[in-house]
Amino acid sequence: MSIETLAIQAAVGLVNAMLLFLVASGLSLIFGVSRIINFAHGSFYMLGAYAAFTLAQFAPTHPGWLLLAVALSALAVAVVGALVETSFLRRVYASDELFQLLATFAVVLAVSDLVKIVWGSANKSLPLPATYRQALPILGQPFPVYYFLLLVLGVVVMAGLWWLVYRTRWGVQVRACTDDRDMANAIGINQKWLTTSVFLLGTGLAGLGGVFAAVMGTITPVMDSDMLVEAFVVVVVGGLGSLLGSFVAALIVGELKAMAILVFPSASMVIVFLLMAVILIVRPWGLFGEAEE
Amino acid sequence: MTAAVPGVPAVRSWVRLPVAAAFFAALGGVLLLPEVLSVYQIYLALEVLIFGLAATSLNLLVGYAGMVSFGHAAYFGAASYCAALAMKYAGVSMWTALLVAPLGSTVLAFVYGIFCVRLSRIYFAMLTLAFAQLTYTVAFQWYGVTGGDTGLLGVMPADAIAEPQTYFRFTALVVAACIAVLYAVVRSPFGLTLRSIQQNRVRVELLGVNPYLYQLGAFVIAGFFAGVAGALYAFEKGAVFPDYLSLGHSLKFILMTLLGGFTVFLGPLLGALVFELLNSVLTNYTQYWQLPLAVCLAAVILFAPSGLSGLFLRKR
């Protein structure tokens, strides 16, 4: 295979890695602070895609709508996520972790049906303005403009996320809670508000990922479970609760999948889960996580 | 009865008379069901029994050993595939396939289990998920052998039990035998040790017990019985698909277990019954059965936190 093919697959892998990171980082943050394995995370991702689809019905002609749709959809999903947390999930924090699991399943099932009721079971796609569908020649291969737009947007969001988590007071509290919940509680960090705000951010990131996925491909009522499983892979490989870990793992998984399609097309999915299993066997806490006792 | 040693409670006899009587009465009732049920209802009841067995085997891990597996469908589906592959490539009879299949899932559970039981809680759950997804993708992508997502067709039961009524009775007998053995397992010293590992691992270790061996044992036993269920399911459907190994199936088993109540031995079976009934009743009225199910789950979580069986049995 030629260098060009490799480069193109690498670029495709990069965009997918960014999408994976957006979703997985939200999952990881939520797990870090609330200790909940949020099976509903894929559902929020799916909601983001459908929210963008609905917004696209209103202003599809102007090239600027895409940016607006991205921002509004992610925001809408974030609000829904925070509402689900305050009205429902909050009640099970004190319960056995099995009930937390059951609670997030309930959200998965409910969202799955609500999506079908509101948007129908047929696949949908976003009507992209022609400006974004134009192809730029990179290494002699056509690349649609929206790929670059998503890459730039993604990098901006990642930078913002990094600033939030590593450079603000809120970020210090989030990391403190992730490290040691009881101690954070003891020194007076308001867990209730912190958890809600982390859900707001985490589900917003999932929603953002959903919008990106909607721009790149089709919107389906079953897109939640595929992404959920991949987000689990990224979070586990990178280390639960580690933002840097999720970033590196998303790159690894995104590129591994893109390259595996070239080398062993029939085993591309197998390799990803093999990586997850090997990491869990050799280093269960992940590449950048910290070993528990 | 073992002789009473001071300070050591005697292990109670494994099976008590009322339990045995209730068991055979229930089995008798179930065997009479085909007389009154329609063919559609017989298939529904078959799924209750099969998924009930799978969920009960999962509960050996969840309820008794405190190990939440996110990938129990791997052993269920692996047995389905073993049965189908044995019939297709080795040309064996249905009876042989039915015996071979759970052995296949047992071996798989042993191999995966060696790695899984070393991990605690969430990492255990994640590794079981990874192995299950691995198995699923192999079945999905290894077109030449497994037929990919078109699956393997023509996995028919032997003529003697090909009728829905007779297949139901056969399944009921097999499931009853498995449930009885699982009951004996959880009440045996092995089962009690499992529970004590969950309650106080360090103390059990100090008593000279190797917890890994017990947990691996539980994992393998659960894999075997999930395999029996998976093989029975393959012959019920007459076909095998990668979906049997999917996360969706694993989650369904967890759902049934928690819905019925993991603290009670028969909870998962009750959960399977409620789940399937709810599912079939709702799908008569609406294609949107997941939403009402979600509402039921939310109600269970908020108002009956020990599962449905907890509503009837209140612990003092």
The full DSSP string for A232-252 is HHHHHHH-TT-HHHHHHHHHH
Q: pLDDT for B177-201, tens place per residue? A: 999 999 999 989 999 999 999 888 8
Residues 6+ apart with CB under 8 A from A75: A204, A207
* Cα gap B273→B47, rounded to integer Å: 9
Residues 6+ apart with CB under 8 A from A119: A50, A53, A54, A221
φ and ψ of B113, to 5 deg: -60, -35
Nearest CA in chain B to A292: B120
* Cα gap B5→A163, rounded to integer Å: 65
The CATH classification number of B33-312 equals 1.10.3470
Asked if A4 has any chain B CB less than 8 Å from its own CB, the reply is: no
| B239-240 and A135-138 strand pairing | unpaired
- For B255, the closest of A105, A229, A269 (CB atoms) is A105
ipTM: 0.86
A113 vs B contacts (CB less than 8 Å) = 288-291, 294
Among candidate residues B121, B132, B114, the one with its CA nearest the CA of residue B216:
B114
* Cα gap B282→A283, rounded to integer Å: 45
Under DSSP, the state recorded for A162 is: H
* Cα gap B25→A201, rounded to integer Å: 56
Asked if A266 has any chain B CB less than 8 Å from its own CB, the reply is: yes
Per-residue pLDDT band for B307 (boundaries 50, 70, 90) equals low
Per-residue pLDDT band for B221 (boundaries 50, 70, 90) equals very high
Tokens found for residue B206 = 């100090």
Dihedral-angle region of residue A239 (phi above 0 means left; psi in -120 to 50 means alpha; beta otherwise): left
Kind plus residue range of the DSSP H or E element containing A140: none
**Which region among A29-33, B198-202, B284-288 has the lowest average model confidence (pLDDT)?**
B284-288
Per-residue pLDDT band for B305 (boundaries 50, 70, 90) equals low
| A135-138 and A141-144 strand pairing | antiparallel
Rounded to the nearest angstrom, the minimum Cα separation between B127 and chain A is: 6
Q: Across the strands, what pairs with A124?
A: A219
Q: Across the strands, what pairs with B239?
A: B153
Integer angstrom CA distances of residue B40 from B11, B28, B82, B165, B170 = 45, 21, 27, 11, 17
- For B123, the closest of A229, A268, A280 (CB atoms) is A280
Q: What is the structure's pLDDT at B2?
A: 42
Asked if A119 has any chain B CB less than 8 Å from its own CB, the reply is: no
Asked if A284 has any chain B CB less than 8 Å from its own CB, the reply is: yes
* Cα gap A98→B310, rounded to integer Å: 15
- For A109, the closest of B126, B294, B302 (CB atoms) is B294
Yes or no, beta carbons of A102 and B300 under 8 Å apart: yes
Nearest CA in chain B to A91: B302
Range with the largest mean pLDDT of A144-148, A238-242, B157-161: A238-242
Burial A33-44 (b: 16+ CB within 10 A, else e): bbbbbbbbbbbb
Burial B26-42 (b: 16+ CB within 10 A, else e): ebeebeebbeebeeeeb
φ and ψ of A144, to 5 deg: -65, 150
A264 vs B contacts (CB less than 8 Å) = none
What's the average model confidence in pLDDT over A147-165? 87
3 state DSSP class of A135:
strand
Among candidate residues B235, B231, B169, B153, the one with its CA nearest the CA of residue B29:
B169
Residue that has been written with the tokens 């007998």 in this structure: B173
3 state DSSP class of A235:
helix
Say yes or no to pLDDT of A2 above 70: yes
Tokens found for residue A186 = 């003891």
What's the average model confidence in pLDDT over B236-245? 90
Q: What is the structure's pLDDT at A35?
A: 83
Q: pLDDT for A72-107, tens place per residue? A: 999 999 999 999 998 888 888 877 777 888 889 899
Assess contact for B298 and B259: CB atoms under 8 A. no
* Cα gap A69→A55, rounded to integer Å: 6
- For A270, the closest of B123, B141, B255 (CB atoms) is B141
Assess contact for A243 and A29: CB atoms under 8 A. yes
Percent share of chain A, pLDDT over 90: 34
Say yes or no to pLDDT of B10 above 60: no
- For B127, the closest of A107, A114, A277 (CB atoms) is A277
Q: pLDDT for B130-142, tens place per residue? A: 999 999 999 888 8
Per-residue pLDDT band for A139 (boundaries 50, 70, 90) equals low
Say yes or no to pLDDT of A45 above 80: yes
Yes or no, beta carbons of B288 and A91 under 8 Å apart: no
- CA B78 vs. chain centroid, Å, equals 13
Per-residue pLDDT band for A216 (boundaries 50, 70, 90) equals confident
* Cα gap B117→A277, rounded to integer Å: 13
Give the end-to-end CA distance of chain B in Å, rounded to a whole number.
Answer: 27
φ and ψ of B139, to 5 deg: -60, -35
Per-residue pLDDT band for B316 (boundaries 50, 70, 90) equals very low
